[in-house]
Chains A and B, each alone.
Chain A
């Protein structure tokens, strides 16, 4: 049966900004879906507020709305576009919830929009705890004993029957938000309280603890003929109790017999039928009692999920693509298997390799947060690796994490005695470092049984870790590195660096090991992911390395360009870099064979048909070098692109060049020039560009000297970092001493220093107070500059650009200031020797344009600028890197024929980028939200774009997309630092005119009242409740009686009051403004919202209007 002919247009909803629990896997799935629907000749209407997505590139849909995903906006889009159908299963929980809201509001019925790929009843059956429990029972499965509660009192009552510990899960939230494990009544109050808040239905499930059970997931698909296939089984190495997104997981399941596996399959199929997922994918999670085999069905997601993306990459079976085809009427047997071409999709992939996924965390960004892993997901990204066995895949996955301390090691003496007992206690608590600690415990002689008792990690996995330890011991003890020893080490996943360390070979050891390996002919081969364990020939070059016998890399004639991706998502290096890599491959495929190297399963770049060849490999020097050698053996290689994937590939540039690899674009020496303050200082001096006074230091003494010379406050950071890692504004010598000592300790812990001297210098800059920060993305081809876009920050300098809202085109810069920026940028590009992209941050203070920093690489803002200006900077950059000039690109139409991103016309739309922050996810050990104040260290996970004809409207849209919107009435609480008091009078006055009630702390209220603004004084948190129980401001916020909070932190550090206020506001999900500049923008935004509903325009309409304006102007 071919596709339905009664549908001609489909609305696809994306997942919005990247947040924990919902990352770029939904860009991957949405992009696949849009592609499929367009290929089927359907008109695709897409809504997603996230500009850093490939799916929102205008060519992937007929009408692309970068607009907030709210019922109001979606209704406007539906009214305007009149789609026949809505496909809500590919945009995560955001899209599914949006669809439910539209249905409830009667919008779908009113406009005759059919929901495809899901139905409301099925969604509710799958996600509503009680209904799902009934389904499971009907399917012959078991659920954990549980009770549904709607109040905290009911929860306390239920505890008398279920007993502690108890699992708390709010209904209809994603990524396990608001869930947790209650060990006692205090825990119960806290977790249930917030769970009830996060559940849109104020409903929470309490259930018996199955902590420590084995955890499994199946990914299933069903078509309208009721054919069901299991695409993939996934086993969690971390047992039940850790969210599957935070667990180390492995595919396929490795510790079940066929009988046990088939039982999971039977239950899963019965459940997908009973729930009524008519077409599409679904994910079911199970717990299995390791002692008895009792099976409990934990939950299901009736949609494409994070695990679906992992399963697709793990098996080569493109779940999202197939789900889209099924939604428009195809059956599984009508869809060919992409990889074999000759067999149908109505089969179950079989693997002849092992896949390991490891999560990447960002606790270092939230030092106050409790690092214990639980049923609320906290990881910000993940890496996946494939190997021909578990040990090989695990070793590769761990080194893909690209973070100190994440790989197994055999340093120092193993612990013993009490220290080992302590270690065994420590590993009972799941944390980011548990796997390495487990390896250490086994290395120290703990038995598999003891470690199982502590961790409940299946003994089979523990034995495999022990096998790695034994292999390492053999490497260390071998009289010489023979072929047998090396082959065995590589077979079990040890890197050259690990082997060198085991042999005590010193700094150059890794190269020596590699040379010995080559001499003995111990090299990786590249196998193919083919869905069928080689039963059929595969045509898709989706490769992974293994130390095995036969390589499957095909020879080629066309010249290849190798593109290095960005690895696991982390704060500061996420989807934006994948976006640039994907653009590079899309444009270079026309002329070259493109070869993608990456290890992030969530991304579009690791889709097997994004590039001509995909190597799913860690982004380490060793692994990249081996890919290069394999490709060089297959045919000519033009070069390797390192400047698009962020700091991870950039950090490899010099070593790769030293090893003789042709690095395309900006040379590694030029990359160094931008990072090295001495060299960069000369570049600035030659170009006559001012920079804040600065210096570098490797020791405490040097740092204090430099700071004394510059004067406090100073901005301190390590060199070679992204996302402002370790960056702080330092106001005093004491604070600086603390900073340097922590850096030295960290370096010593990583074995990088023993001398009190840092391995890489600290950068110390004069911190500019009250500066306007400007971000620029530009292209340079060696002779000509193209200014991609000039972004004006809404917050002042000092807040990391990734966390700061910004606007493009700039709304307060003059033409001459933009010209000055262009000239400065050109001088920098020339001085550094850029060939490709350049990102510069400037600060404008008292008419002086200071250069804060320059990065000769793709920046986080490239997709935002590209979307706002309609010019793909990453495509252009990739072309410049392979030798094209800006003039060529203008002629070809990749860049505009005239002008640049600094010369946008007066009627050009305004784009506002707003950051989305994950504070709600992180709680202190006491259960409080971590502090939400912004600083120079980036902590946002994602971003949205508000796009409209003027700044107030664009800003209001950005707020609606990022946080659910600005309030339009109600109560505003104001408490600002003294230096800000003068600036708030006008905006607050305007708020009262708009009808808001103003609350303020005593100090702020004085200023407001004297300026004629009625402000009620409220008690400070530190004052406590009054004699008659008068509430403090924190009480009012917690009770939901405040709609917006304006709180600027005073001076250094977060004083207790400010912290409590901000934490309570975040927990209550209310708007919070922490800078004066934000306040002005917020007031303008509120006015825009009050002026009426948002107008919606697609990117295609914006572009057409731009073309029309240009034509009219010409």
Chain B
């Protein structure tokens, strides 16, 4: 880690050299990994020890350079079962010790080859812990990875100042609207898995608005007998209603929720029709905004699969998968009236709280059939502790009288 030089005395510049340059001018010199070239994005760290393939293919990481804090990445190679979408989305990948050899009975190819094939520029061999500590202290920021021809000019490394300037010129995450660039072009349907529906067909039909959806989400619903129509982010309320859904789902996705005006408007149309609603991650932030709460950017976000969340409706703690840089700003204690349009959506409760830093991790509408969580009950990667939320959604759709559990229920039990 330095702020001025790429190559230290005694070290040599080779065609394997790569550098990571942060917006604040900090430079890490390492080895090129994956594709060669230049790439830019918001640099964030993920603390999961497993699940690099799911992380790489999670659309929420669009335009982000992801640092894996676990040192060994690529050990189990890449297979065609574990990807969470049609491609790798991260704009850059930072690891310490990439595997030289993949070893797993399901592995089909190496991660290095996959990154090259998908043109993902990466860097390896840097002090990822020092980098993580830096980001923790200073907050996430823009960064660039340079290798191959993008790093050199006339056989010499380009000046740090020039690389830093390029990073500073790249787009920022705050204010970015990215759903349109990750969503599917065409709607598709995921049918209930065999044996999960009822003899008369699906348990329920859900329209899932793809803001960057992970494939495990419709899968989790399909496992519960639900038919899921995954639709593009640009779908209108009339198109949704035409599919006669029992419920509407808003997925996770990249970008700043404060820039998601069309999605917020669409969700308000759903809420106005009292169609049961469930949102995950970006979907949670959009529910928050639709209800009239603010959202804000966290200093360095939550990205990992070990995060404790308290479900206030049961008093139980679940270990959950997180990937969010923004959060909803809602009153933590008790029910509050949703500020939008003078309380048109009634009362809202923060149903889930992150125990590490008391961040809002879930919202439940007390007067509407709508709820959402900031984290990832579909896991992939991560623990399955929160899978019950899909059951909660199914109940909400299939039992008209069902009320969502509230924090008051937990007190009753005790």
State how many angstroms separate the Cβ of B382 from the closest Cβ of chain A: 7
Q: Which residues of the partner chain A approach B128 to less than 8 Å between Cβ atoms? A: 352
Question: Does A229 have its Cβ within 8 Å of any Cβ on chain B?
Answer: yes
A209-240 contacts to B (CB < 8 Å)? 225-227, 229-230, 233
Judge whether A256 and B317 touch: CB under 8 Å.
no
- Chain A 257-296 against B: per-residue CB contact (8 Å), 1 yes, 0 no? 1111110011000000000000000000000001111000
Residue on B with the closest CB to A337?
A: B356
Q: Which residues of the partner chain B approach A348 to less than 8 Å between Cβ atoms? A: 305-306, 319, 383
State how many angstroms separate the Cβ of B132 from the closest Cβ of chain A: 4
Judge whether A459 and B103 touch: CB under 8 Å.
yes
State how many angstroms separate the Cβ of B319 from the closest Cβ of chain A: 5
Residue on A with the closest CB to B99?
A: A460
Stretch touching chain A among B49-57, B202-210, B286-294, B401-409: B49-57
State how many angstroms separate the Cβ of B314 from the closest Cβ of chain A: 9
Whole-angstrom CA separation of A895 from B315 in the bound complex:
53
Judge whether A534 and B319 touch: CB under 8 Å.
no
Question: Does B372 have its Cβ within 8 Å of any Cβ on chain A?
Answer: no
Q: Which residues of the partner chain A approach B10 to less than 8 Å between Cβ atoms? A: 482-484, 520-521
Judge whether B70 and A350 touch: CB under 8 Å.
yes
Question: Does A543 have its Cβ within 8 Å of any Cβ on chain B?
Answer: no
Question: Does B228 have its Cβ within 8 Å of any Cβ on chain A?
Answer: no
Judge whether B103 and A257 touch: CB under 8 Å.
no
Closest A-B pairs by Cβ, 7 of them: A483-B10, A258-B51, A550-B130, A549-B127, A533-B69, A258-B381, A460-B103
State how many angstroms separate the Cβ of B46 from the closest Cβ of chain A: 9
Judge whether A343 and B355 touch: CB under 8 Å.
yes
Whole-angstrom CA separation of A634 from B160 in the bound complex:
31
Q: Which of A257, A331, A483, A534 makes the CB contact (< 8 A) with B11? A: A483
Q: Which residues of the partner chain B approach A259 to less than 8 Å between Cβ atoms? A: 81-82, 380
Whole-angstrom CA separation of A291 from B105 in the bound complex:
6
Judge whether A293 and B106 touch: CB under 8 Å.
yes
Judge whether B308 and A346 touch: CB under 8 Å.
yes
Question: Does B47 have its Cβ within 8 Å of any Cβ on chain A?
Answer: yes
| Max count, chain A CB within 10 A of own CB: residue among B102, B136, B308 | B308
Other A-B pairs, 19, CB within 8 Å; known A353-B71, A463-B101: A254-B72, A258-B380, A262-B383, A265-B383, A265-B384, A266-B384, A293-B106, A331-B317, A343-B308, A344-B308, A344-B317, A388-B71, A390-B72, A460-B103, A483-B8, A520-B10, A535-B69, A535-B304, A550-B127
List 22 interface pairs A-B (beta carbons < 8 Å), by A numbering. A225-B317, A255-B76, A256-B76, A257-B76, A262-B50, A290-B105, A346-B355, A347-B355, A348-B383, A352-B69, A354-B71, A389-B72, A463-B99, A482-B10, A521-B10, A532-B47, A534-B136, A535-B304, A548-B130, A549-B28, A549-B127, A550-B1
Q: Which residues of the partner chain B approach A225 to less than 8 Å between Cβ atoms? A: 315-317
Judge whether A484 and B72 touch: CB under 8 Å.
no
Judge whether B316 and A226 touch: CB under 8 Å.
yes
Judge whether A460 and B136 touch: CB under 8 Å.
no
Judge whether A458 and B127 touch: CB under 8 Å.
no
Whole-angstrom CA separation of A463 from B102 in the bound complex:
10
Question: Does A252 have its Cβ within 8 Å of any Cβ on chain B?
Answer: yes
State how many angstroms separate the Cβ of A1063 from the closest Cβ of chain B: 44
Judge whether B48 and A389 touch: CB under 8 Å.
no
Whole-angstrom CA separation of A625 from B306 in the bound complex:
37
Whole-angstrom CA separation of A482 from B10 in the bound complex:
7
State how many angstroms separate the Cβ of B98 from the closest Cβ of chain A: 11
Residue on B with the closest CB to A348?
A: B306
Judge whether B1 and A350 touch: CB under 8 Å.
no
Whole-angstrom CA separation of A352 from B103 in the bound complex:
21
Whole-angstrom CA separation of A388 from B136 in the bound complex:
19
Whole-angstrom CA separation of A535 from B137 in the bound complex:
10
Question: Does A95 have its Cβ within 8 Å of any Cβ on chain B?
Answer: no
Whole-angstrom CA separation of A347 from B308 in the bound complex:
5
Q: Which residues of the partner chain B approach A230 to less than 8 Å between Cβ atoms? A: 319
Q: Which residues of the partner chain B approach A463 to less than 8 Å between Cβ atoms? A: 99-101, 103
Whole-angstrom CA separation of A460 from B12 in the bound complex:
29
Residue on A with the closest CB to B302?
A: A535
Whole-angstrom CA separation of A292 from B306 in the bound complex:
28
State how many angstroms separate the Cβ of A179 from the closest Cβ of chain B: 28
Q: Which residues of the partner chain B approach A265 to less than 8 Å between Cβ atoms? A: 383-384
Whole-angstrom CA separation of A995 from B200 in the bound complex:
84
State how many angstroms separate the Cβ of B351 from the closest Cβ of chain A: 16
Judge whether A255 and B103 touch: CB under 8 Å.
yes
Number of A-B contacts (CB under 8 A): 183
- Chain B 103-141 against A: per-residue CB contact (8 Å), 1 yes, 0 no? 111100000000000000000001111101100100000
Whole-angstrom CA separation of A527 from B128 in the bound complex:
12
Question: Does B285 have its Cβ within 8 Å of any Cβ on chain A?
Answer: no
Question: Does A536 have its Cβ within 8 Å of any Cβ on chain B?
Answer: yes
Given known pairs A255-B75, A258-B51, A527-B129, the reply for A227 and B316 (CB within 8 Å) is: yes
Given known pairs A333-B308, A347-B319, the reply for A256 and B50 (CB within 8 Å) is: yes
Question: Does A537 have its Cβ within 8 Å of any Cβ on chain B?
Answer: yes
Q: Which residues of the partner chain B approach A293 to less than 8 Å between Cβ atoms? A: 105-106
Given known pairs A227-B317, A350-B47, the reply for A257 and B100 (CB within 8 Å) is: no
State how many angstroms separate the Cβ of A368 from the closest Cβ of chain B: 39
Whole-angstrom CA separation of A252 from B49 in the bound complex:
8
Judge whether B356 and A347 touch: CB under 8 Å.
yes
Q: Which residues of the partner chain B approach A535 to less than 8 Å between Cβ atoms? A: 45, 47, 69, 132, 136, 304, 356
- Chain A 425-465 against B: per-residue CB contact (8 Å), 1 yes, 0 no? 00000000000000000000000100000000011100100
Question: Does B18 have its Cβ within 8 Å of any Cβ on chain A?
Answer: no
Judge whether B75 and A460 touch: CB under 8 Å.
yes
Whole-angstrom CA separation of A572 from B143 in the bound complex:
56
Question: Does B97 have its Cβ within 8 Å of any Cβ on chain A?
Answer: yes
Whole-angstrom CA separation of A521 from B101 in the bound complex:
31
- Chain A 343-381 against B: per-residue CB contact (8 Å), 1 yes, 0 no? 110111111111000000000000000000000000000
Residue on A with the closest CB to B355?
A: A344
Whole-angstrom CA separation of A217 from B244 in the bound complex:
48
Q: Which residues of the partner chain B approach A351 to less than 8 Å between Cβ atoms? A: 49, 70
Judge whether B136 and A537 touch: CB under 8 Å.
yes
Residue on B with the closest CB to A292?
A: B105
Whole-angstrom CA separation of A847 from B97 in the bound complex:
69
Question: Does B96 have its Cβ within 8 Å of any Cβ on chain A?
Answer: yes
Q: Which residues of the partner chain A approach B21 to less than 8 Å between Cβ atoms? A: none
Whole-angstrom CA separation of A389 from B127 in the bound complex:
11
Whole-angstrom CA separation of A348 from B48 in the bound complex:
10
Question: Does A332 have its Cβ within 8 Å of any Cβ on chain B?
Answer: yes
Question: Does A897 have its Cβ within 8 Å of any Cβ on chain B?
Answer: no
Residue on B with the closest CB to A550?
A: B130
Whole-angstrom CA separation of A388 from B71 in the bound complex:
7
Question: Does B147 have its Cβ within 8 Å of any Cβ on chain A?
Answer: no
Residue on B with the closest CB to A534?
A: B132
State how many angstroms separate the Cβ of B201 from the closest Cβ of chain A: 28
State how many angstroms separate the Cβ of B179 from the closest Cβ of chain A: 25
Given known pairs A258-B82, A534-B129, the reply for A354 and B72 (CB within 8 Å) is: yes
Whole-angstrom CA separation of A521 from B70 in the bound complex:
26
State how many angstroms separate the Cβ of A447 from the closest Cβ of chain B: 12
Q: Which residues of the partner chain A approach B211 to less than 8 Å between Cβ atoms? A: none
Q: Which residues of the partner chain A approach B364 to less than 8 Å between Cβ atoms? A: none
Q: Which residues of the partner chain A approach B381 to less than 8 Å between Cβ atoms? A: 258, 262
Q: Which residues of the partner chain A approach B48 to less than 8 Å between Cβ atoms? A: 258, 350
Q: Which residues of the partner chain A approach B374 to less than 8 Å between Cβ atoms? A: none
Residue on B with the closest CB to A347?
A: B308
Whole-angstrom CA separation of A343 from B358 in the bound complex:
10
Question: Does A467 have its Cβ within 8 Å of any Cβ on chain B?
Answer: yes
B170-223 contacts to A (CB < 8 Å)? none
Question: Does B379 have its Cβ within 8 Å of any Cβ on chain A?
Answer: yes
Given known pairs A333-B308, A347-B307, the reply for A550 and B355 (CB within 8 Å) is: no
Q: Which residues of the partner chain A approach B360 to less than 8 Å between Cβ atoms? A: none
A804-830 contacts to B (CB < 8 Å)? none
Whole-angstrom CA separation of A349 from B306 in the bound complex:
7
Whole-angstrom CA separation of A257 from B53 in the bound complex:
9
Q: Which residues of the partner chain A approach B363 to less than 8 Å between Cβ atoms? A: none
Residue on B with the closest CB to A522?
A: B10
Judge whether A460 and B69 touch: CB under 8 Å.
no
Residue on B with the closest CB to A532?
A: B47
